[in-house]
Amino acid sequence: MFTQPCEARRTARVQSPKSKVQSQAHSHASRSIGAHINFWLLSLAPGFSRVSGASPEANCFNSFPFGNAKFGRRCGPWTLDLGLWTLLLLYSGATSFAQLPTNAIPTFAALHSNLTARVEHPRLAAAQLGVKIVSLDTGKTLFEHNSGKLLKPASNAKLYTGALALGRLGPQFRIRTSCYAAAKPEADGTLTGDLTIFGRGDFSMAARFHGGDYTKALGPLVSALAAAGVKRVNGDLVGDESFFRGPPFGSAWTWDDLGNYYGAEVSALTHEDNVVDLVFKPGAALGQPVTITPKPATQFLQFINRTTTVPSGGKRNLELHRPLATGAVYLHGSLPADDKGWIDSMTVPRPALWFLAQLRDALARNGITVTGLLRTRDWLAAEAAPVDYGKQMEIAFTESRPVSELVTQMMKPSQNLYAQLLLLQVGARTVKPGQTTEEAGLAEMQKFLAEAGVKRGAVLLEEGSGLSRGCLLMPDATVQLLRHMDKHPTAAVYHAALPLAGVDGSLKSRFTGTAAARNLQAKTGSLRYVNSLSGYVTTAAKERLAFSIMLNAYNGTSVSGREIIDELAVLLANFAGRAE
C-alpha cells in the first residue's frame, strides 16, 4: 500500500522548480560568502587552522561558522572582538542551516559550543526549542536546553505507544479475530444463520503486510473459513467492532485531518489501513477526465470525477474531498497528458462495513457465497443488546502478525491508525465500566512511565499517535523513556522498529552522506509549526547517546525546522570526544 509518513502533508511532497532554484542559489551564495570570510578569519586568528593537527578548540569553526557565537567567549586560544563578532553576524545571515556539518568535533567543549550557538540562533527567537542529550554508556547529560518544557511532540508520541505495546503486550503477542456462528456448517458446507466476524483490532490485514498484494490481505481469514468447511452462509455477514469502547477517532483529532490517510477512522475491524489507494493517470485525450483506479478494487466509495486532462507540460493539480460520514469522493483539478501518474489515498467511512464489503467479495472469489445482508455492531449497539458469544461457536479464527512486527510497521512509516489501535489494545485489558478504551490505555501508559522513571506531569498524551495538537511531552521524559527501553528485555525489538537514517521509514531520505547515515535510529515528528526527532545515535568515538530534539512554533522560510533539527543530530554523530 502506498503510504507517506504522517508528518508529510501531501501538498508539501514536491518542491517546485522555482523554489529548488532559489534554494540552490541561496546555498551557493552562502558557500561563496562563507569561503571569503573563513579565509579572512584564518589570516586574523593565530592558532586557527583548517588542516589536520589544528588545535581542537580551533576546529569548532570548521564545524560551525559562528564559533561559540557569544561575544567575549573563547574559541581556542583567541577571543572574539567586536569587529570580528559583527562580521560573524553578517556571515550568520548568509549561511544556511541546510548545509549539514561533516567535520569531526574533537572535544566536548567544541560540541557544547556548537550546540549552544545553534539553539541560541536569532532565527529561533520566536520559537520554542527543547533539547536533551544523554550518554547511554555513562549516564552523563551532554547537553540540555529547555529540556523540562512541555512541547508538542507530533509523532514522537509513537515512541511511547510502541514502548507501551512491547512492555504490556509482549513482542510475541498476536491479536485474534474470531468467526462466530450458532453451529458448525452442515456437511454440504452450508452455514445456517448469521456469520459474525468479531474484531479485536488486528491491523495486519493490509497489503503492506503481504508484500504489497491487495488480494492477499484477507487471504488468511478466507482460508480459515474455507478450512472450517464453509461454502455458503444462509444469513447475514455481521461485523462486530464492539471490542473498543469510544469514538472512532483519537481524542482531539481535528476535523480537517479526518479525510486524509493519516486521520483514518479507528475500528476493531480494520482493513487496508481503512483507506483506498487511488492511482491517477491522464485520460485518453485532452479534455477528458483523468482515469482513476482504486486499490483494492471496490465500489464502496463513489467517485464524482470533475478532473481534466490538460496539454503536456502543464501543472499537476488534483484535489480530493470526501464529506464526512459519506462515501462520495469529489475529484477536481487537472493532470498533464505526459504525466506518469499520481497516487493518493482516501479514507473510508464506517470501516467495519468496509471490512465486511471487502470480505464478502473475497469470499465470493473463493467460491463462498453470502445470501444475507451486511451488518455492523459497535459498542453502543452491544450495550443496548449484548451478545453472549460464549453460547456461540468459534468456527474459525485468525491471528495478527506478532506485536514486534506491528510496532515496527507503526514506527517506521509513522502510521497513526496503528498507533491508536495499539494503545486501544493495551487499554482493552484494563477498561472499566464508564471508561473509554482510550482512557484505559492512557491510564496504563502513566503506570508504565512511572515504572520507567519518568516523572509525573512530564507526559500529557491525549491519544496514541501524536496527531492531537493537545499532546505535550518534555524532552527530559523522552530521553528517560529511551534510556529505559535501551535496558528493557525488548530493547533489540524497540531499536529495530525505529527508522534508520538514510535507509528506511520516515528517515529514508534524510542524513544521507553524513555520519548519521546508517547510524542514527530515531522517531520523526511533524505537524504545522512542529518538528521533532528523538532516538539513538553513536558518536565518532563509539559512545552511544539518547537524544530528544523538539521544535515548536517555528515558521522559518529559508531554513526548515527539519533542517535545523538534522544539523543538531549530525553534530552528535560527528562528536569524536567524550563528555567531561
pLDDT score for 102 = 66
Angle formed at CA 452 by CA 446 and CA 458, multiple of 5 degrees: 55
466: left (phi over 0), alpha (psi -120 to 50) or beta: left
Residue 101 in contact with residue 574, Cβ under 8 Å? yes
**Does the pLDDT of residue 302 top 50, yes or no?**
yes
Across residues 283-299, what is the average pLDDT? 96
Angle formed at CA 74 by CA 71 and CA 77, multiple of 5 degrees: 140
Cα of first residue to Cα of last residue in the chain, in angstroms, is 48
pLDDT score for 465 = 98
Cα-Cα-Cα-Cα dihedral sign, residues 122, 124, 129, 133: negative
pLDDT score for 137 = 97
* Alpha helices per DSSP H over 458-560: 475-486, 491-497
> CA 275 → CA 2, 4, 265, 269, distances in Å?
10, 13, 9, 13
Residue 342 in contact with residue 318, Cβ under 8 Å? yes
Residue 550: strand pairing partners: 130, 532
Amino acid at 205: M
Across residues 557-568, what is the average pLDDT? 96
pLDDT score for 35 = 35
Which residues, in sequence order, are CB contacts of 303 under 8 Å at separation 6+? 292, 294, 329, 331
Residue 415: CB atoms within 10 A of its CB come to 27
Across residues 388-408, what is the average pLDDT? 98
Q: Give CA–CA dist 170/403, Å, rounded.
A: 7
Q: Give CA–CA dist 129/146, Å, rounded.
A: 7
pLDDT score for 419 = 98
pLDDT score for 557 = 86
Q: Which three cell numbers stand for residue 446?
A: 502513566
Q: What is the pLDDT of residues 119-166, one digit of tens each?
A: 999 999 999 999 999 999 999 999 999 999 999 999 999 999 999 999
pLDDT score for 328 = 97
Greatest Cα pair distance in the chain: 95
Mean pLDDT of the chain, nearest integer: 86
Polymer length of the chain: 580
pLDDT score for 579 = 79
Q: What is the pLDDT of residues 168-197, one digit of tens each?
A: 999 999 999 999 999 999 999 999 999 999
Split at pLDDT 50, 70, 90, the class of 391 is: very high
Which residues, in sequence order, are CB contacts of 315 under 8 Å at separation 6+? 334, 336
- Helix-, strand-, coil-residue percentages of the chain, each rounded to 5: 35, 20, 45
389: left (phi over 0), alpha (psi -120 to 50) or beta: alpha
> CA 231 → CA 73, 184, 227, distances in Å?
81, 12, 10
Q: What is the pLDDT of residues 7-60, one digit of tens each?
A: 433 333 223 333 333 333 333 333 333 333 333 332 333 233 223 333 322 233
pLDDT score for 59 = 32
Split at pLDDT 50, 70, 90, the class of 101 is: low
Split at pLDDT 50, 70, 90, the class of 103 is: confident
Residue 282 in contact with residue 342, Cβ under 8 Å? no
pLDDT score for 16 = 31
Across residues 104-119, what is the average pLDDT? 96
Split at pLDDT 50, 70, 90, the class of 77 is: very low
Query: What φ, ψ does residue 399 adopt, rounded to 5°?
Result: -125, 145
pLDDT score for 513 = 96
pLDDT score for 19 = 33
DSSP secondary structure string for all residues of 61-84: HHH-TTTT-STT-EETTEE--HHH
Radius of gyration of the chain (CA): 27
Q: Give CA–CA dist 365/373, Å, rounded.
A: 18
Query: What φ, ψ does residue 190 adopt, rounded to 5°?
Result: -85, 130
Q: H or E element: which one contains 523?
A: strand 521-527
Closest residue by Cα to residue 536 from 576, 464, 482:
482
Residue 293 in contact with residue 278, Cβ under 8 Å? yes
Q: What is the pLDDT of residues 445-494, one digit of tens each?
A: 999 999 999 999 999 999 999 999 999 999 999 999 999 999 999 999 99
Cα-Cα-Cα-Cα dihedral of 329, 333, 334, 340, to 10°?
-50
Angle formed at CA 376 by CA 372 and CA 377, multiple of 5 degrees: 130
Closest residue by Cα to residue 347 from 246, 248, 425:
248
Q: Give CA–CA dist 87/80, Å, rounded.
A: 10
* Residue whose cell numbers read 508528518: 7
Q: What is the pLDDT of residues 411-439, one digit of tens each?
A: 999 999 999 999 999 999 999 999 999 99
Helices 158-168 and 416-427, packing angle to 10 deg: 40
493: which DSSP letter? H
Domains of the chain: 104-166+420-574 (3.40.710.10), 174-401 (3.50.80.20)
pLDDT score for 501 = 98
Residue 150: CB atoms within 10 A of its CB come to 19
Q: Which three cell numbers stand for residue 390?
A: 460464549
Strand pairing report for 195-198 and 237-240: parallel
pLDDT score for 398 = 98
**Does the pLDDT of residue 94 top 50, yes or no?**
no
Query: What φ, ψ does residue 231 adopt, rounded to 5°?
Result: -125, -20
Q: Which three cell numbers stand for residue 296?
A: 483494492
Residue 249 in contact with residue 263, Cβ under 8 Å? yes
Query: What φ, ψ does residue 74 adopt, rounded to 5°?
Result: -90, 145
Strand order in the sheet with 317-321: 302-310, 328-336, 317-321
Kindly tell me the burial class for residue 315, based on how many C-beta atoms sit within 10 Å of its own C-beta (0-12, 13-18, 19 or more): exposed
Q: What is the pLDDT of residues 252-288, one digit of tens each?
A: 999 989 989 999 999 999 999 999 999 999 999 999 9
pLDDT score for 259 = 87
